[in-house]
Chain A
Amino acid sequence: MEDEQSFSDISGGRLSLQRRYYTQSCREFCLNCPRLSLRSLTAVTCTVWLVAYGLFALCENSMILSSAIFITLIGLLGYLHFVKIDQETLLIIDSLGIQMTSSYASGKESTTFIEMGKVKDIVINEAIYMKVIYYLCILLKDPLEPQEISQVVPVFQTCFIDLQCWRFGLIMNNFTIL
């Protein structure tokens, strides 16, 4: 079964969280990040081309214009493929592990799977970035020292929900793994 809720993130964009319940031991949480806005894209393109036209007026060399077009295209492709994350998914499989997938705007998907034996706990961390934001992270066990924590892995890396701590906790209330 599925359900969807929408929130706003710390810079005001729309985020939507979908929850899918496959079985009692397998659940998926999908967070859709705000899309690339046409306004910012137009602004960046116009700036780059104005600069290129200015240089062309100075130097009278048409290579500047073609290189500006090239740079804009390559920059946009690089941004879509390596930087812009469209959707982040968290799949929890009971007694097997936790899988985090980030899908980029160009279709690339990068997946990390953490086995349940390595997970020590899941906590909500606070960070101060202009104001207080809350994010979920997974604490991993150190293989040599079982009582020590070796790594802190934030779950949703790019989307920060602008919410009070307790409301966020209510949404993630199905964590009964450990």
Chain B
Amino acid sequence: MVLKAFFPTCCASADSGLLVGRWVPEQGFAVVLAVVHFPFIPLQVRELLARVQRASQVGLAVLGTWCHRRREPEESLGRFLEGLGALFTHKPWLQLSREPDSRRWNCKVSSPGAPCGEDQVMLIFYDQRQVLLAQLHPPATLPDRRAGDATATAAEGGLAAVFHTVARSEALFQSDRFDEGPVRLTHWQSEGVEASILVELAKWASGPVCLLLSSLLSLLSWLSTWRLCRLCPLAFLCSKLCTCQQLRLRLQHLQLVFSTQKAEDPAQLMRKANTLVSVLLDVALGLALLSWLHREDRIGQLADALVPVADRVAEELQQLLEWLMGAPAGLKMNRALDQVLGRFFLYHIHLWISYIHLMSPFVERILWHVGLSACLGLTVALSLLSDILALLTFHIYCFYVYGARLYCLKVCGLSSLWRLFRGKKWNVLRQRVDSCSYDLDQLFIGTLLFTILLFLLPTTALYYLVFTLLRLLVVAVQGLIHLLVDLVNSLPLYSLGLRLCRPYRLAAGVKFRVLERESDGPLRLLMQINPLPYSHVVHNFRLPSCGCHPRQSWSSLCRKLFFGELIYPWRQRGDKQD
């Protein structure tokens, strides 16, 4: 097998020394992590490697020598380096060297039993910082293995072993060039350990802040559960209103973000970060909306426009009912039933208009307070809008329920009497249709009722159709608002920003580029991180939404509409299914 030597690009201009890293025999990988410079004491090098091995559970060793001749070729250095091979016994022993002022690289491997030749080595350069910070998706370990298992790490597939080695060896990268330690190393942090004052301050301040906020939030959630359990009608109302669901979801999110436990794995950390960014964006958009609403007394304008709009809708409905009570689309309705249903619905509209007019002096005050709620977030404002829409179109919902129940009764009656007409009946015990012999008077009354119901069907069906269409229109508008709310809730903005600005952090894999080759030098490749595509980022890191989507398929929806069963579009996750 060809030996693959992974060499960090930061060490390409380092002085001569020893190569330190990990050897993976199954794939023939020699992952070089750092270069140890002269002078050094072999015992101290061995102690450092043992210390790092204890901290990281990754087996490190001295892999070979590195020779970077800056001036004229130094023969003594060459012989000294060869002598080191006897001191640090490692099979195979790697000897890398680089000519001064040229691109010539030389690579020799001596392993027991195999002839040493140049064709047996491949040099792969990698950026140590990027490989350290990158997370591979999907992860290489299978779900039934624990991450800390030392034996599992050796069996990891392929290149994931390289990533794992670099990521776990952070203890080796702690010392930099300015430290006065016994061993001088060159690695990606050797110019000075990377750190940021802001990050350190934030970490120091986050402890007490998280503690305070998490205690406040737990108090809030305890309060909400206590009050709601006591007052039954309030609990029912809260389960139906979108705003309460959204507020509960946001409370959960805030509890997750400000919890005092540290994130156990990178996925949880990403989720926390995504949730925080989502909450911040929500509040920012809400404040923008608030400032826009309050700027030119738009709330007053909205309040002034609201009552006339509700009046207008009621007028349109009245005209619609008058049309239905006449001869709609040229169809001839049953006069009596038509008049009854039409007058019944007209009276409802009249009641509704009276309520709206009763409420009109308070509308502006209510709207002003509702507008204030936008500072809790744009999603809360949109949920409130959806709830207000539902309340304003409550009469349409009532009409739909009346029409659907009437139609449903009619269809049930018709199907049962149709069975009687044919001489069959429904066997409840066996759950099937059985033949049955009826008496003459049963047949007579049954057929009479069947005829009556059949000829009254068009009228009821028309009313049902019209009100179902109106209801579906309102549901569609509410659905759009919910979609927008869901988008703001579940979009992983932090991950998208990371993919945009630091694409190497989210890695889908690697890619190789062949570097130009000298005539008899080894093959040199550059390994780069292949970032995750945006669609995969959204799919992997999507935050769980509140699950308010309709779970029915189109065919079941059509079936329900045909038989007059009521449609409940926004079933919450905890509700019983009917």
Contacts and interface: CB of A to CB of B under 8 A. Distances in A.
A25 B512 contact: no
Contacts of A95: 1-2, 4, 27-28
Contact of B512 (A23, A99, A116, A117): A99
Given A25-B2, A26-B514, A113 B530 contact: yes
B122 interface: yes
A143 B139 CA distance: 13
Given A95-B2, A99-B511, A115 B523 contact: no
Contact of A93 (B509, B512, B530): B512
Interface string B1-29: 11010000000000000000000000110
Contact of A117 (B119, B157, B523, B525): B157
Contacts of B159: 115
Contacts of B1: 95
Interface string B495-535: 00000000000000111101001000001010000100000
The prevalent SS among residues of A at the interface is strand
A112 B509 contact: yes
Contacts of A97: 158
Interface residues of B, number: 20
Interface string B104-148: 000000000000000100100000000000000000001000000
A95 B2 CA distance: 7
A115 B4 CA distance: 14
Contacts of B509: 112-113
Contact of A26 (B28, B158, B510, B523): B523
Contacts of A143: 142, 157
Contacts of A99: 511-512
A96 interface: yes
Nearest to B160: A115
B5 to A, nearest CB: 12
Interface in A97-119: 97, 99, 101, 111-113, 115-118
Given A22-B523, A25-B122, A115-B159, A96 B514 contact: no
A117 B158 contact: yes
Interface of B: 1-2, 4, 27-28, 119, 122, 142, 157-159, 509-512, 514, 517, 523, 525, 530
Interface of A: 22-26, 28, 91, 93-97, 99, 101, 111-113, 115-118, 143
